[in-house]
Amino acid sequence: MAETAPASPRTRFAQNDDGVVVIIGSGAGGGTLAHELTRRGIRVVLFEAGKRLTLEDFSQVPGEAFAMLTWLDPRTQSGTWTVREDFPTLPSWTCKTVGGTTVHWTGACPRQQPWELRARTEYGDLPGTSLIDWPIAYEELEKYYDLAERRLVVTRRHGVPGLPASNKFKVMYAGAKALGYQRVHTGYMAINSQPADGRPPCLQMGFCVQGCKIGAKWSTLYTEIPRAEATGNLDLRAECMVTRIEHGPDGRVTGVVYRDPSGREQRQRARLVCVACNAVETARLLLLSESGKFPRGLANSSDQVGRNYCHHVGGFVWGCFDKPVHAWRGAVLAGVVEDETKNDPKRGFVGGYHLELAMLDLPSLPLAGLPYMWGRELAAVMEDYRNMSGMFICGEDLPRPDNRITLDPTVRDQYGLPVAHIHVDDHENDTAMRTHAQTQATRIFEAVGARRVVCSRATPATHNMCTARMSADPCDGVCNGWGQTHDVPNLFISDGSAFSTPGSANPTLTIVALALRQADYIERQMSARSI
């Protein structure tokens, strides 16, 4: 069984030690980067605002798990997206725990497509968007995809068998094949299909987003972080929330201000700082770190911090059948239709989407899957729960300059700091893509006898991206192709905030690949004493 706690005494570095690397956030980006740097002999202080849990702590009672793992600090929102109406207090569903959102993610690991890294070139100058091309070539990213997939033991890659076909996958597969789709399989999943990496195979219990009780699903909580601690070079500070990044007269960062588990304000000096707080909180922290030198927020001379917020075109499609499916069994997202992952403007929109398996537990279905439905209509769907199957749309939304994270002018957190405000207006391309995806998912279910299909509206954002994006031109973004900020050479962006555009793939694999690549660069730069 996977280990979630250190086997040796905890390492501590002095708060006035200005030779350490500070990493803020312990999820896919921060946790991976911490392991990569510490195994190279680099001393790291890793900050995490949430608690450190063990596999035994995880609960398969949905409400308990939600309260245990979720970032519940207040956030506000505005815009025309339907999340504002359906989920007024939860515009973004992320985690606040050691391991970050790798604790509650579903394990899906598709790759970005080559043309998705050239979105501005591929799609053209679309009105209302702020599209740019990535400043790195796909061939460069591909090398690190290989490394990331081996690290995460991704199924259907490098000889790793796929996960078994669940009932809900068989429904999807039969319907998709009836429509002529060809690329239909149980997905590229960071969930063990056989014993690997010291972790057991998946038992097909479901409950993936409540925390994997046996550790079959990859998470930095019980892979990267314990291994980093074993080097003796990691000082993990859980329940410590960083509230500000400080800099000196030359503009280079010098350390961070944080609240310790007792709520007391502390400081940690640093040689360099890597921010991996998930795209909402990463943008918020940079904006909170404003100063006379950076009046609009740290590393924000371009005014791009917080802008271009992307979250994927999403939504559930539920099919109701005459016979039981028992769709809650099996890995939640172990099934995908990839045929629509293409750029074919003849469909009425640019970019592509995945159709992925999905299922919600019974208590969460009306809350997260059908929040706009009431009365007899909702009761009729709920009575069909045993006979239901579900799919989720995951499509490329387009960056827009006014879709952004800002600081709320009135709402404050427990430390008196402005909370993140999320503004989203759907682009007409997003709306057209969602309509097309809902139509195709409906046709899949109807092809295998669904007597009723119900489509949800947009869901709270779980894929948060692009708010501190990489750019070749410093005026277009926040950091360069290595995640190194244009304004501050010893400040790095190490999570999905750095994506130039979102693509249509679930983002975790790309975050890990970029973290592996960034670790190579940081080591070289530190050795050369460039940072």
- Under the banding of pLDDT at 50, 70 and 90, the label for residue 373 is confident
Lowest-confidence segment of 47-56, 144-153, 374-383, 447-456 by average pLDDT: 374-383
- Does 33 reside within a domain? yes
pLDDT digits (tens, 9 = 90+) for 421-444: 999 999 999 999 999 999 999 999
- Does 280 reside within a domain? yes
Domain that holds residue 454: 21-527
Query: 0.75 cut: is pTM over it?
Result: yes
Residue 4 pLDDT exceeds 70: no
Quote the pLDDT of residue 399: 98
- Under the banding of pLDDT at 50, 70 and 90, the label for residue 8 is low
CA–CA separation, 367 vs 38, rounded Å?
42
Residue 211 pLDDT exceeds 60: yes
Quote the pLDDT of residue 67: 96
- The mean pLDDT value of the chain amounts to 96
- Does 8 reside within a domain? no
Quote the pLDDT of residue 5: 61
Q: Tell me the torsion sign for CA atoms 253, 254, 258, 260.
A: positive
Read off the pLDDT of each residue in 363-368 and give the average, rounded to a whole number: 88
Contact 400, 425 (CB under 8 A): yes
CA–CA separation, 58 vs 35, rounded Å?
24
- Does 4 reside within a domain? no
- 307: domain CATH number is 3.50.50.60
Residue 6 pLDDT exceeds 70: no
Quote the pLDDT of residue 368: 87
Residue 1 pLDDT exceeds 80: no
Residue 447 pLDDT exceeds 60: yes
Residue 34 pLDDT exceeds 60: yes
Beta carbons within 8 Å of 388's beta carbon, 6+ residues apart? 318, 319, 320, 321, 325, 327, 359, 381
List strand residue ranges (DSSP E) for 276-429, in order. Answer: 313-320, 336-337, 353-357, 388-395, 404-412, 418-423
- Does 226 reside within a domain? yes
Give ∠ CA 295-301-307 in degrees, rounded to 5. 100
- Does 11 reside within a domain? no
- Does 461 reside within a domain? yes
φ/ψ of residue 273, rounded to 5: -130, 135
The number of folded domains in the chain is: 1
Quote the pLDDT of residue 397: 98
Query: Which tokens is 413 given?
Result: 């957190």
Beta carbons within 8 Å of 67's beta carbon, 6+ residues apart? none
- Does 2 reside within a domain? no
